Structure 1
Amino acid sequence: MKKTVLTLMALAIIATSCKEEKKEELKETAQTETALPPVSDAMMENSVIYEANIRNYSKEGTFNAFTKDIPELKKLGVKVIWLMPVYPISMKRRKATGDKSIEDITDPNERKKYLGSYYAITDYTAINPDLGTLEDFQKLVKAAHDNGMYVILDWVANHTGWDHKWITEHPEYYEKNKKGEVTDPLNPETGEPWGWTDVAHLDYKSKKLYEPMTNEMLYWVKEQNIDGFRCDVADNVPTDFWNYAIPKLKAVKPVFMLMESDKEYLFKGQFDMGYGWVAHHLMNDVAQGKKPVADLKKFLAEMPGKYEADDIFMNFTSNHDENAWNGTEYERLGDGAEAFAAMAYAMPGMPLIYTGQEYDVNKRIKFFEQDAIEKNKGKMFAVYENLGRLKNEDPALNGGKKPAAFKMLETSGSDKALAFEREKDGKKVIYIANLSNGAASFTVPAEGSYTNYMTGEKVTFAKGQKLDAKPWQYWILTN
């Protein structure tokens, strides 16, 4: 009996010891998962954001294929990964091409290749099996966090796919036409369809949708530890909804909120960053000779006074919509693509890299089917690597809620030249460019010695010295 008691005591000690070890393991795991500091104003100052088109990032088109390349993104200074929608896509009325739905395709083999729009969602809290499993998604988030990157999900609050269960279970959540039928999104001014026939328009007028939609967002913050959202067509959704939902997200933990909009009223305490649409369109127009460089100068000079000091804009030369529908940056910006990319980093705000830009991809990536990019490091990987390092490390390029000072510099001798200065904490960065396809000579008030950051060369400017610039030549000067 004594021997039995001693044995039981030993077993109890071993069991207790195992439990303690298990607790320590869980504690260590939890510490590892929370090693990344929470979203903060400070991290927004010097971040680069990357838009990940998982379907077309790799031949596999999966989370796992993307996850293994996260260390490559770290080389580019990426601190925020924006995942295009990861949710299941509706089959009903699925888009096959710009004007045809899946129902219009009779050949079964042809039908298989049309994967539909990421933005026609059938379940907000599930994973698209084409991309992988929930466990694969969790590994992606962990890998990003381990590499010092935050993950935000694309959120489509304006509409669902036609297979979403709410259409049958909660038709009151949707907009109706005059016949009382659920409808695709309509232009509120004309009542005519936008052409988004693969989605059903949600109705926020009665506010019945506020709580269920917020709960869907909370799932990803609470259960999957994501760090915020990029909100699709944010200004098509009532501001009252965002004022209701976003504080509930922030009550769980700090989150980073990006809106597909540039409306100043949406910044008020809710969204951190908006789209730099005006700057983007001006870049396109200047590159194509549709507008003079003076228009871009005027916009840059006046912008600080049009918004609050803590309003952040995302600067970009491409994104999924621009690439698919309006052309690659090389189609729109031509030989000026690199000069405008450098401007996106140097000007106030946060620069965006869209899938493939770092690999010199020069094709319109198909929107409704897989169309994988080729990942060959050419010219732009090194360019983005340099720009990302400068953005991350030099406070003169801070572009968040406490941005570095911005000042336009007068260029004389050419109407094709543009220059501005950023300065903070004794650090200075000057951007100078000839934004034309012809040679230009001009002066810039930038006396002194600098380093041409992109080449490492030392540059000295005397007062009144002329600068001879080749077509689309630019300088980023640091002190």
Structure 2
Amino acid sequence: MRWVLAVSLAACVSSQMPVQPDAAGGDAPGDAAPEGVLDWRGRSIYFVVTDRFANGDCTNDDAGGFVTDLANPRAWHGGDFQGLIDRLDYIAGMGFTGIWITPVIAQHHAHAYHGYWGYDWSRIDPHLGDAAKLRELVAKAHAKNIAVMIDTVANHTGRYNFTTPTFPDAAMYHHNGNITDYNNPAQVENNALSGLDDLAQENPAVRAKLLEHIDWLARESRADGFRVDTVKHVPKPFWTEWRAAAKLFSMGEVLSGGVEQVAPYSHVLDATLDYPLYYAMQSAFAKGGSMRQLGNVFAKDAQYADVQLGGTFLDNHDQPRFLCDATVADKQARLRIALAFQFTARGLPILYYGTEQGFGSCSDNRQDMLSVADTNAPLYQWIAKLNRIRASTEALRTGVQRERWQDDTAYAFEREVGTSAAVVAINSSNNVRILPLQNLHVPAGTVLTDALGSGATFVVDAELNLAVRVPAHGVVILTNTP
């Protein structure tokens, strides 16, 4: 496949000056604080593992003595902030209004390319650039109406033998061994995750440093929000203080398939990644399971503080690529309807980088995209179309969602806000389905048009009913958008 070959061809062309080492006290402070909390409602988000995405500056490839080695899937591969800047038009071309980037603080390990093993929490990792380059990325993203969300960690450092420049004292960590029982809340919050040095947030010095750090990162980067890693591994009361210090939108990762376990964290942060819906979509679309699972998740939406702010996704850096994980016969068709569902249902749709290029490696779900950016790729074009429909239809961004049909092979819902309305129907079966939707909230006589371009129109009858014909392995998106 083309993207596999592209890895060996990856190179960067840079006009940038070499990245200078940070001063002993960390990066120079930014000259302005964040202007306020940006409303992420209605946005769609493109998620990037920065080191794997685009190498815009070759001079930082071997920063800190941790060299770039494309032949080693666990090593640094050279992606950086300049590479992201260079590809902002590529991201904007798909219609995304937000990006989420992996953690930016300094690491200290040959395999810490992902950014989740924080070492010096007062510095930006020089492999990626410096604070000024990060601010440039944010500013140039803003110029294209793209908000920036930075990943951050407060649960752990790396495997650094319980000492780092930011947390130098062994008393700043828990020493309880690895988690062995994920059903034991005390272990989940106070034991180590996969051997990573577990920070003791109950220690006043640790808590103060974490709060100081997130305030610094918000001001230094001028970003618009934070994706927060391993949230359930830290006691909930800490997150109340952390959120007050961050002063920006926050979306937490709670890796659980149960709404009852995930939703409570949306009341201490602003939102959560929607893992319960991920597992339902994975089963329904990738595995050929019952579409009723989607309705089962939506039925519990009231448990979230604001379900419109939850992050929905089909795969990510911690889960298998959809095209690898799928066991159905026509994986590409299933991916297309899964994306259509994701980009029209409630919440903030998050696309994992490379999905638009058909990435589906089963051996490396964080493969390089360093030399691949084909805007003519079929999935790139499909995602761009879905984002255009979403952008032109307020109901699909912020509207109330109501279920109108569910069975094992079909699911349909309507969304409305103000005068904007949409009806979406999905068919996962091998046959054409005609779904008799009833009791719509859309007014009688409303004309709905197929937003995917067939030109077909549908009229809501006097009894507020609507019969929708959905192709096999297909989707229908109806809107009243002029």
TM-score (norm 2): 0.75
Deviates more, 1:424-433 or 1:443-452: 443-452
1:83 and 2:121 matched: no
> Contact between 1:166 and 1:173, CA under 8 Å: does it hold in 2?
no
Letter in 1 for 2:384: E
Q: Secondary structure at the match of 2:283?
A: helix
Q: Within 5 Å, which residues of 2 pair with 1:211-226?
A: 211-226=208-223
Q: Which runs of 5+ in 2 are unaligned?
A: 1-29, 56-77, 439-444
Q: How far is 1:429 from its partner?
A: 0.8
- Counterpart of 2:37 in structure 1 is 39
- Counterpart of 2:404 in structure 1 is 409
Letter in 2 for 1:49: I
Q: Within 5 Å, which residues of 2 pair with 1:419-438?
A: 419-436=412-429, 438=430
- Partners of 2:426 and 2:308 lie apart in 1 by 26
Q: How far is 1:454 from its partner?
A: 1.8
Q: After superposition, what is the alpha-carbon deviation per residue over 1:144-185, rounded to whole angstroms, capped at 9, x for unaligned?
A: 1222222221111111013452587221110114xxxxx566
> Contact between 1:47 and 1:350, CA under 8 Å: does it hold in 2?
yes
Q: Secondary structure at the match of 2:315?
A: coil
- Counterpart of 2:382 in structure 1 is 383
- Partners of 1:426 and 1:129 lie apart in 2 by 49
Which of 275, 278, 281 is the equivalent residue of 1:280?
Answer: 278
- Partners of 2:82 and 2:205 lie apart in 1 by 38
| Distance change (3 Å), C-alpha of 1:469 and 1:398 | closer
Which of 424, 434, 437 is the equivalent residue of 1:442?
Answer: 434
- Partners of 1:310 and 1:410 lie apart in 2 by 20
> Contact between 1:267 and 1:311, CA under 8 Å: does it hold in 2?
no
> Contact between 1:153 and 1:229, CA under 8 Å: does it hold in 2?
yes
1:120 and 2:121 matched: no
1:150 and 2:144 matched: no
Which of 83, 86, 100 is the equivalent residue of 1:68?
Answer: 86
Q: Which of 1 and 2 has higher RCO (CA within 8 Å, sep 6+)? A: 1
- Partners of 1:195 and 1:217 lie apart in 2 by 22
- Partners of 2:107 and 2:92 lie apart in 1 by 30
> Contact between 1:339 and 1:433, CA under 8 Å: does it hold in 2?
yes
Which of 232, 237, 240 is the equivalent residue of 1:240?
Answer: 237
| Distance change (3 Å), C-alpha of 1:331 and 1:267 | closer
| Distance change (3 Å), C-alpha of 1:51 and 1:364 | farther
- Counterpart of 2:300 in structure 1 is 303
Q: How far is 1:350 from its partner?
A: 0.7
The two structures, once aligned, show a CA RMSD in angstroms of 3.2
Q: How far is 1:86 from its partner?
A: 1.8
- Partners of 2:365 and 2:314 lie apart in 1 by 18
Q: Within 5 Å, which residues of 2 pair with 1:2-13?
A: none
- Partners of 1:475 and 1:369 lie apart in 2 by 33
| Distance change (3 Å), C-alpha of 1:288 and 1:344 | closer
Q: How far is 1:214 from its partner?
A: 0.8
Q: How far is 1:266 from its partner?
A: 2.1
Q: Secondary structure at the match of 2:221?
A: coil
Q: How far is 1:194 from its partner?
A: 7.1
Q: Within 5 Å, which residues of 2 pair with 1:15-414?
A: 38-40=36-38, 43-58=39-54, 60-91=78-109, 114=111, 116-163=113-160, 165=164, 169-177=168-176, 187=181, 189=184, 196-197=194-195, 199-250=196-247, 255-261=248-254, 263-268=262-267, 270-289=268-287, 291-300=289-298, 302-309=299-306, 312-322=309-319, 326-329=320-323, 331-332=325-326, 334=331, 335-364=333-362, 366=364, 372=370, 374-377=372-375, 378-399=377-398, 404-410=399-405
- Counterpart of 1:471 in structure 2 is 472
Q: Secondary structure at the match of 1:169?
A: coil
Q: After superposition, what is the alpha-carbon deviation per residue over 1:69-100, rounded to whole angstroms, capped at 9, x for unaligned?
A: 11232233322221101223232xx6xxxxxx
Q: How far is 1:420 from its partner?
A: 0.5
Q: After superposition, what is the alpha-carbon deviation per residue over 1:126-156, rounded to whole angstroms, capped at 9, x for unaligned?
A: 2222223333222212211222222221111
- Partners of 1:386 and 1:264 lie apart in 2 by 31
Q: Which runs of 5+ in 1 are unaligned?
A: 1-28, 95-113, 178-182
| Distance change (3 Å), C-alpha of 1:136 and 1:186 | farther
- Partners of 1:299 and 1:310 lie apart in 2 by 11
Q: How far is 1:281 from its partner?
A: 0.7
Letter in 2 for 1:383: W
| Distance change (3 Å), C-alpha of 1:406 and 1:371 | closer
| Distance change (3 Å), C-alpha of 1:433 and 1:461 | farther
Q: Secondary structure at the match of 1:320?
A: coil
- Partners of 1:39 and 1:225 lie apart in 2 by 11
Letter in 2 for 1:212: K
Letter in 2 for 1:148: N
- Partners of 2:287 and 2:232 lie apart in 1 by 31
> Contact between 1:184 and 1:200, CA under 8 Å: does it hold in 2?
no
Q: After superposition, what is the alpha-carbon deviation per residue over 1:345-367, rounded to whole angstroms, capped at 9, x for unaligned?
A: 21111111111122332335847
Q: Secondary structure at the match of 1:44?
A: coil
TM-score (norm 1): 0.75
- Partners of 1:141 and 1:465 lie apart in 2 by 45
- Partners of 1:466 and 1:317 lie apart in 2 by 29
Q: Secondary structure at the match of 2:127?
A: coil
- Partners of 1:309 and 1:208 lie apart in 2 by 33
- Partners of 1:185 and 1:155 lie apart in 2 by 21
Aligned residues: 403
Q: Secondary structure at the match of 1:201?
A: coil
- Partners of 1:38 and 1:298 lie apart in 2 by 36
| Distance change (3 Å), C-alpha of 1:50 and 1:330 | same
Q: Secondary structure at the match of 1:418?
A: strand
> Contact between 2:122 and 2:166, CA under 8 Å: does it hold in 1?
no
> Contact between 1:184 and 1:201, CA under 8 Å: does it hold in 2?
no
- Counterpart of 2:66 in structure 1 is none
- Partners of 2:310 and 2:133 lie apart in 1 by 31
Q: How far is 1:431 from its partner?
A: 0.6
> Contact between 1:50 and 1:352, CA under 8 Å: does it hold in 2?
yes
- Counterpart of 2:7 in structure 1 is none
- Partners of 1:424 and 1:355 lie apart in 2 by 30
